């Protein structure tokens, strides 16, 4: 019997899903990371997000987000505007073209999710997503605690 290990299974699932999504997004001219930036911006409460807020939500590094935002700005998907109260920051806002691209990309994402989760029954898919959410949260806590165990 093969031992199931979390890291290789998560990596294989993420890599395969990311590749499939990347292929579907290619005709729209965006990447999965750019889709995620658009999603975070469009789901945010208020007028856009700062690059720091995007970086935190995507669990990425600032240089990667800066480069991604710059490419998206050149593609006229979004724009950076001065922050209303912090002169050092800029707010990132989605332009109309970015909204259109996102709408098309979201439809592709939902179709892909349905196809992938189609290997499970509806009940299994719901349970799987809830359990995966718990695992993701546990991973996040371990990452932020530096591996230190919390005392009960």
DSSP secondary-structure letter at 78? Answer: E
Q: In the chain, what are the domain boundaries? A: 28-142
Please report the pLDDT score of residue 48 as a whole number.
87
Q: Is residue 43 scored above 80 in pLDDT? A: yes
Residues 58, 12, 5, 55, Cα dihedral to 10°: -10
Query: Distance between CA atoms of 49 and 23, rounded to whole angstroms?
Result: 28
Query: Distance between CA atoms of 13 and 26, rounded to whole angstroms?
Result: 20
Assess contact for 92 and 80: CB atoms under 8 A.
Answer: yes
How high is the mean pLDDT of the chain?
A: 91
Q: How confident is the model at residue 10 (pLDDT cuts 50, 70, 90)?
A: very high
Please report the pLDDT score of residue 147 as a whole number.
57
| 28-142 CATH choice from 1.20.1270.10, 1.10.3680.10, 1.10.10.10, 1.10.1200.10 | 1.10.10.10
Assess contact for 48 and 92: CB atoms under 8 A.
Answer: yes
CB atoms within 10 A of CB 42: 14
Strand order in the sheet with 78-82: 49-50, 90-94, 78-82
What are the structure tokens assigned to 97, written together? 């073209």
How much of the chain, in percent, has pLDDT values that exceed 70?
A: 94
């Amino acid at each position: 019997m093969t031992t199931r290990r979390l890291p290789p299974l998560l990596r294989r699932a993420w890599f395969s899903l990311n590749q499939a999504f990347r292929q579907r997004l290619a005709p729209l001219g965006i990447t999965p990371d750019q889709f995620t930036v658009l999603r975070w911006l469009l789901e945010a409460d208020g007028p856009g997000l700062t690059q720091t807020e995007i970086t935190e939500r995507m669990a990425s590094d600032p240089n990667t987000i800066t480069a991604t935002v710059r490419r998206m700005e050149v593609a006229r998907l979004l724009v950076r505007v001065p922050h209303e109260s912090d002169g050092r920051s800029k707010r990132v806002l989605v332009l109309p073209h970015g909204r259109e691209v996102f709408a098309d990309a979201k439809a592709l994402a939902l179709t892909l999710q349905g196809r992938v989760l189609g290997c499970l029954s509806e009940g299994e898919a719901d349970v799987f997503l809830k359990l995966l959410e718990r695992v993701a949260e546990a991973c996040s806590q371990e990452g932020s605690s530096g591996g230190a165990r919390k005392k009960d």
